[in-house]
């Protein structure tokens, strides 16, 4: 059971990162390999604002997430917008380049060391059947679920959320409705960056923050998105949780040094056996 | 109202439109006919700046729109019902209509919603259904209604008869006739020449990216060349006359 609890915690984070992948995949058709960098930025900013500057947590939280939102906007305007020929290959290459740039800048700003972030809620263990779960893990799981729920509400109810869904469905038709798809694309990057930063903030006190965290987090989130099936938000969360649990249980049978390999084993298995993901629909195109 | 002046468009080295000039006056119903691959969709898409032109212009109320973004052209009052309907399949009928009114103020959206559901009662009945579940004819109605939600002064229609049964085609065109009678300007492109010319006042014939004929719709319907190439009437019939 203990494995389940720790799996759920890391799984929630993977789920949030996978959501970010999905949002950008849906609006642009690309995989944004800088998604993990957004998580790192969230963690770094909360370190600076909360641990170093000592701002009250709510202000630091909104500051960090707000900055990440802006980073998302700038990211799209600079890296994606300026790419002249916007085919998938070019754009994906651009996101990889961008992720390296962000990582290097972060290394210069925050240094190479792992930075500790103070806890922002009282830490205690909660007795659960078959093990204990820390209050921080509970927070991570609850916040992830709340964010996923909030995102769902945004897409279903709000005017811009609906416009985003319309653009996912058919960008050209969305344009003919007067929806500026370019604006929607910026929004999707901003929202994805925001989701990443939320993940980065809530996980920060559990794991230290390091400038190169983005690579592993990004790839794990990507695995989760593939596991669930790209393009499907519910599946992203489910994929994240499953990957987290799977990883955690595998640590009990194989050396924990190989834990990271498990995620990639999962990607390979999925791509070999069920390329559309566990919950992915077969893509059908009318001709 | 709309004046396309010597438009040239090419796709990856292939000349799709060559020196195409078309005009539509306020309140007119104009049909442009042409076979598959003649460049009909390209023409509408380049007017809406979904594809970019090489040369020429498309004046809407005297202003060139080919440099504006599609969404801004829509906001100016020109709407397109795209080829193959392209409704948002994973959204409800109601949400599809809401999207059409994306740029319009809430009060106007409400009023327009009432108008279009009165005109297309089936959309009111199926408001909460996913648009992808509708039949082809219903999707076409939805696509038209969605375009109307943008409150257009001119409606561009791309191949409304595509994939529809003859009875449904008639139904769609009857709706267009009603719309035209309320003063809406319509430019329609069609492969189905007989029905397109029957409902229009004026027509153009597009072949290999060039306008080869234009005139009153009734005259085009009676033209031998049009009959042979687009109405499926063979020479034999002409000889025997």
Percentages of chain A per state (helix, strand, coil), in multiples of 5: 70, 5, 25
- A219-271 tens-digit pLDDT: 999 999 999 888 788 889 999 999 999 888 888 888 877 878 888 888 888 88
**Phi first, then psi: what are they for B240, rounded to 5°?**
-75, -10
Pairing of strands B63-64, B55-60: antiparallel
Backbone angles phi, psi at A119, to 5 degrees: -70, 140
Identify the DSSP state of B92.
B
Q: Closest to A169 (Cβ–Cβ): which among B48, B90, B147?
A: B90
Residue A287 covered by a domain: no
Q: Concatenated DSSP letters for A45-67?
A: HHIIIIIIS---HHHHHHHHHHH
Given an 8 Å threshold on Cβ–Cβ distance, is A176 in contact with B82? yes
**B206, B39 in Cβ contact below 8 A?**
yes
Q: Which one, of B174, B194, B118, B156, lies nearest residue B42 by Cα? A: B156
Report the residue count for chain B. 241
Q: What is the predicted pLDDT for the residue at B234?
A: 57
- A160 at interface of B, judged by CB pairs closer than 8 A: no
Q: How far away is chain A from the Cα of B89, in angstroms, using its nearest Cα?
A: 7
Task: Give how far Cα B111 sits from Cα of B81, B106, B140, Å.
Answer: 21, 9, 21
**Domain locations in chain B?**
2-77+153-239, 86-151
CB atoms within 10 A of CB B236: 8
> Which pLDDT score is estimated for A129?
83
Residue A283 is given by DSSP the state: P
A7 Cα to chain B: minimum distance (Å): 33
Across the interface, whether the CB atoms of B71 and A165 are under 8 A apart is answered no
CA atoms within 13 A on the CB side of B60: 23
Residues from chain B contacting residue A172 (CB–CB below 8 Å):
50, 70, 82, 86
Label the pairing between strands A125-128 and A131-134: antiparallel
Rounded CA separation B131/B142 (Å): 8
Band the pLDDT of B144: cuts 50, 70, 90. Answer: very high
CA distance A86 to A206: 39
Residue B52 near chain A (CB below 8 Å): no
Residue A9 is assigned to a structural domain of this protein: yes
Mutation for testing the B interface, residue in A171, A173, A185 having most B CBs under 10 Å: A173
Rounded to whole angstroms, the Cα distance separating B215 from B219 reads 7
Query: Distance (Å, rounded) from C-alpha B70 to C-alpha B140?
Result: 21
- CATH number of the CATH domain containing A227: 1.10.3470
- 3-class SS letters over A163-195: HHHHHHHCHHHHHHCCCCHHHHHHHHHHHHHHH
Classify residue A112: in a domain, yes or no: yes
Residue in chain B lying closest to A180 (CA)? B71
pLDDT, residue A239, reads 92
Cβ within 8 Å, pair A163-B86: no
Q: Which of B70, B95, B150 sits opposite A162 (nearest CB)?
A: B95
Residue B78 phi/psi, 5-degree rounding, is: -115, 125
Identify whether A45 is part of a domain.
yes
* Interface test with chain B among A84, A175, A177, A182, by most B beta carbons within 10 Å: A177
Separation of alpha carbons B162 and B73, rounded Å: 25
Q: Is the pLDDT of residue A285 over 80?
A: no
> Is residue B178 less than 8 Å (CB to CB) from chain A?
no
ipTM: 0.86
Q: Is A182 on the interface with B (CB under 8 A)?
A: yes
What percent of chain A shows pLDDT beyond 70? 97
pLDDT, tens digit (0-9, with 9 covering 90-100), for A35-78: 999 999 999 999 999 999 989 999 999 999 999 999 999 999 99
B85, closest residue in chain A (CA to CA): A173
Compare all CA atoms of chain A with the CA of B163 and give the residue at the minimum distance: A287
A287, pLDDT greater than 70: no
Question: Which residue from A165, A173, A180 is facing B82, i.e. has the nearest CB?
Answer: A173
Of B239, B201, B192, B240, nearest to B220 by C-alpha is: B201
Residue B71 has pLDDT above 70, yes or no: yes
| Number of independent structural domains in chain A | 1
Residue-level pLDDT at A208 = 86
Q: Tens digit of pLDDT for each residue in B185-199?
A: 999 999 988 899 999
CA distance B20 to B175: 29
Q: Is residue A278 part of a domain?
A: no
Which two tokens mark B156? 């561009």
Task: Tell me the residue range of the domain where A260 lies.
Answer: 2-273
A184 contact B CB<8A = no
Are B37 and B207 spatial neighbours (Cβ–Cβ below 8 Å)? no
* Contact between A166 and B82 using a beta-carbon 8 Å cutoff: no
Q: At residue A108, does pLDDT exceed 50?
A: yes
- Residue B27 to residues A122, B119, B175, B181, B183, Cα–Cα distance (Å): 71, 19, 15, 8, 5
- The answer to the question of residue A40 being in a domain is yes
Could you please state the CATH topology (level 3) that the domain comprising B2-77+153-239 is classified under.
Rossmann fold (3.40.50)
């Amino acid at each position: 059971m203990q494995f389940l609890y720790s799996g759920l915690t890391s799984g929630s984070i993977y789920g949030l990162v996978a959501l970010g992948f999905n949002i950008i995949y849906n609006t642009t058709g690309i995989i944004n390999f800088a998604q993990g960098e957004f998580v790192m930025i969230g963690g770094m900013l909360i370190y600076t604002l909360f641990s170093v500057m000592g701002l009250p947590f709510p202000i630091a939280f909104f500051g960090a997430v707000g900055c990440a939102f802006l980073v998302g906007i700038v990211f799209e305007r600079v890296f994606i917008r300026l790419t002249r020929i916007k085919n998938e290959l070019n754009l994906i290459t651009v996101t990889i380049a961008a992720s390296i740039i962000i990582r290097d800048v972060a290394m210069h700003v925050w240094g190479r060391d792992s930075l500790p972030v103070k806890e922002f809620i009282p830490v205690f263990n909660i007795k659960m059947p078959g093990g204990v779960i820390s209050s921080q893990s509970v927070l991570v799981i609850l916040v992830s679920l709340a964010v996923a729920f909030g995102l769902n509400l945004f897409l279903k109810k709000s005017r811009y959320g609906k416009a985003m869904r319309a653009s996912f469905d058919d960008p050209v038709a969305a344009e003919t409705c007067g929806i500026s798809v370019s604006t929607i694309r910026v929004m999707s990057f901003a929202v994805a960056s925001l989701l990443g930063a939320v993940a980065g903030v809530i996980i920060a006190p559990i794991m230290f923050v390091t400038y190169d965290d983005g690579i592993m987090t990004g790839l794990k989130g990507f695995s989760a998105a593939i596991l669930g099936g790209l393009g499907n938000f519910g599946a992203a969360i489910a994929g994240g949780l499953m990957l987290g649990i799977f990883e955690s249980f595998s640590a009990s049978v194989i050396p924990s040094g190989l834990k990271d390999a498990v995620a990639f084993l999962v990607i390979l298995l999925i791509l070999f056996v069920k390329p559309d993901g566990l919950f992915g629909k077969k893509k059908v195109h009318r001709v | 109202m709309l004046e396309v002046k010597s438009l040239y468009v090419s796709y990856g080295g292939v000349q799709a439109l060559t020196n195409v000039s078309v005009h539509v006056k306020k309140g007119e119903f104009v049909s442009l006919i042409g076979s598959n691959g003649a460049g009909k969709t390209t023409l509408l898409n380049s007017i809406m700046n979904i594809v970019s032109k090489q040369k020429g212009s498309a004046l809407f109320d005297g202003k060139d729109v080919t440099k504006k973004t599609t969404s801004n052209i829509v906001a100016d009052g020109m709407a397109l019902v795209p080829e193959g309907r392209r409704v948002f399949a994973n959204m409800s009928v109601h949400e599809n209509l809401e999207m059409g009114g994306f740029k319009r103020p809430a009060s106007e959206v409400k009023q327009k919603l009432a108008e279009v559901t009165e005109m297309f009662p089936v959309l009111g009945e199926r408001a909460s259904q996913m648009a992808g579940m509708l039949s082809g004819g219903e999707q076409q109605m939805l696509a038209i209604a969605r375009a109307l939600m943008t409150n257009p002064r001119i409606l561009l229609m791309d191949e409304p008869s595509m994939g529809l049964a003859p009875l449904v085609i008639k139904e769609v065109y009857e709706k267009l006739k009603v719309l035209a009678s309320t003063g809406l300007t319509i430019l329609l492109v069609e492969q189905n020449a007989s029905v397109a010319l029957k409902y229009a006042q004026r027509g153009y014939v597009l072949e290999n990216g060039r306008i080869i004929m234009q005139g009153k719709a009734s005259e085009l319907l009676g033209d031998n060349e049009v009959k042979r190439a687009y109405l499926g009437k063979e020479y034999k019939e002409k000889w025997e006359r």
